[in-house]
Amino acid sequence: MKRQMFTTVIMAAVVLGACGTTTVAQSVGQVSTSQASSNSSAPTTAANTTTTTQAPTVGSILQFTDSTAGKYTVALTKIDDPATPTDPTFGTAPAGQRIVATEFTITNKGSAVLSSDINVNASIIGSDGQTYQTSFDDVTNCTNFNSGSYTILPQQSQNGCATFEMPNGVTVKNVQFLPDGGLSGSQVGQWNAQ
């Protein structure tokens, strides 16, 4: 009986320990109005010193911590909906869908190189409640970093897009940024698009 109880307690501790905790990335400001734009009606304003409890919107800068590089920020600077494919012959979305591009600025605030892949980091939550993963489409307004991969030196920034194929009747509700595709289980960045 004691052995069975001990085994149950150990198994519960292992399961709870494996779950980890998820924290929402800290909002640290806004990009300037001239840098941020969206087809949504959400206002974007220049950074100010007041603290607000509103959810981040397009233009908000969120802060993350990488175990190797240290602190870095991610700004959702633009949602292009619909986005224009670079090759209208082969790069179009399937019938009944459209391409949506989300443009990010990632800034390495740490002291070591920051490397990851936007195609793993980014996702969209639609107005239908579904999560949409990246589609790897090339669009005219920005590049997909280096086929999704980015390597950013300390105190440097890079701009690029993640693209998605979404049904025509579904709007973008939220854009998410999950370091390591959420595998690290530690941080989630989310912007309201509506």
The reported pLDDT for the residue numbered 13 is 32
Q: How far apart are CA 74 and CA 57, in angstroms?
A: 12
The answer to whether residues 140 and 87 touch, using CB atoms and an 8 Å cutoff, is no
Contact residues for 117 (Cβ-Cβ < 8 A; gap 6+):
145, 148, 149, 150
pLDDT tens for the 194 residues of the chain, in order: 433 333 333 333 322 333 333 345 656 656 544 444 434 333 333 333 334 457 899 999 999 998 888 999 999 999 999 999 998 888 789 999 999 999 999 999 999 999 999 999 999 999 999 999 999 899 998 999 999 999 999 999 999 999 999 999 999 999 999 987 777 666 889 999 97
- Nearest CA to 175 among 187, 190, 188, 163? 190
The reported pLDDT for the residue numbered 141 is 87
Phi, psi of 182 (to 5 degrees): 90, -5
Q: What are the domain boundaries of the chain?
A: 22-192
Element (H, E) at 18: helix 2-19
The reported pLDDT for the residue numbered 16 is 31
3-state SS, residue 189: strand
Q: How far apart are CA 135 and CA 120, in angstroms?
A: 11
- Nearest CA to 161 among 136, 135, 180, 143? 143
The reported pLDDT for the residue numbered 91 is 78
The reported pLDDT for the residue numbered 31 is 58
CA torsion 170→175→180→186, rounded to 10°? -120
The reported pLDDT for the residue numbered 26 is 59
DSSP 193: -
Domain 22-192: state its class: mainly beta
